[in-house]
């Protein structure tokens, strides 16, 4: 029997919606900066450009990582861990009978899955409480209960 866990961020806005929000931010900022520039403070345009470049960088970083996920698949013989980060997929396959689950010891620690010298951390995308629950569930499923 196969078990699968998919761990994702809870994003309230899609990348497209973030793009629309950024466009609106640009329009409002340039309208405000334009009015101030016409009132005798033309240097405000430079500050508005810097602000929008920094905000754009933050929005871009968020959009790149909005679809990050961890997928864990347990079948009769293997534990497959697929991690997606900024569109890059990293996959590791561990032997089911050799895999140890090391639960998080402190807040923000990841669940460590280890087999044959290979160690993989999972659970970055879920809250600490759910990480502890996932750790117990993985350990139980690996033992065959």
16-32: pLDDT as tens digits:
888 899 999 999 999 99
d(CA 76, CA 55): 47
Secondary structure of residue 118 in the 3-state scheme: strand
Secondary structure of residue 144 in the 3-state scheme: coil
Q: What pLDDT was estimated at residue 48?
A: 96
Q: What pLDDT was estimated at residue 49?
A: 97
Q: Looking at the predicted structure, is the pLDDT value of residue 145 above 80?
A: no
Q: What is the pTM of this model?
A: 0.77
39, 105: one domain: no
d(CA 101, CA 113): 5
pLDDT digits (tens, 9 = 90+) for 125-144: 999 999 999 999 999 999 87
pLDDT digits (tens, 9 = 90+) for 39-68: 999 999 999 999 999 999 998 888 888 889
Among 48, 65, 82, residue at a domain's last position:
65
pLDDT digits (tens, 9 = 90+) for 64-109: 888 899 999 999 999 999 999 998 999 999 999 999 999 999 999 9
Domain of 99 in residue numbering reads as: 3-8+68-142
24, 52: one domain: yes
Residues 6+ apart with CB under 8 A from 111: 101, 102, 103, 104, 121, 122, 123, 131, 134, 135, 138
**Percentage helix, strand, coil for the chain under 3-state DSSP, each rounded to 5:** 45, 30, 30
81, 117: one domain: yes
Q: How many domains does the chain have?
A: 2
52, 107: one domain: no
76, 60: one domain: no
Q: What pLDDT was estimated at residue 57?
A: 94
Please report which helix (H) or strand (E) contains residue 114, including its range. Answer: strand 111-115
60, 73: one domain: no
């Amino acid at each position: 029997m196969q078990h699968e866990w998919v761990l994702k961020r809870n994003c309230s806005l899609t990348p497209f919606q973030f793009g629309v929000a950024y466009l609106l931010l640009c329009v409002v900022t340039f309208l405000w900066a334009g009015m101030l520039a016409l009132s005798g403070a033309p240097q405000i345009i430079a500050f508005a450009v810097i602000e929008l470049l920094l905000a754009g960088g933050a929005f871009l970083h968020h959009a790149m990582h909005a679809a990050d996920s961890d997928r864990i698949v347990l079948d009769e013989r293997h534990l497959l861990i697929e991690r997606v980060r900024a569109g890059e997929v990293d996959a590791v396959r561990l032997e089911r009978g050799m895999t140890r689950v090391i639960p998080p010891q402190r807040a923000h620690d990841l669940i460590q899955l280890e087999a044959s010298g290979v160690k993989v951390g999972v659970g970055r995308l879920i809250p600490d409480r759910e990480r502890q629950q996932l750790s117990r569930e993985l350990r139980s499923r690996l033992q065959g209960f």
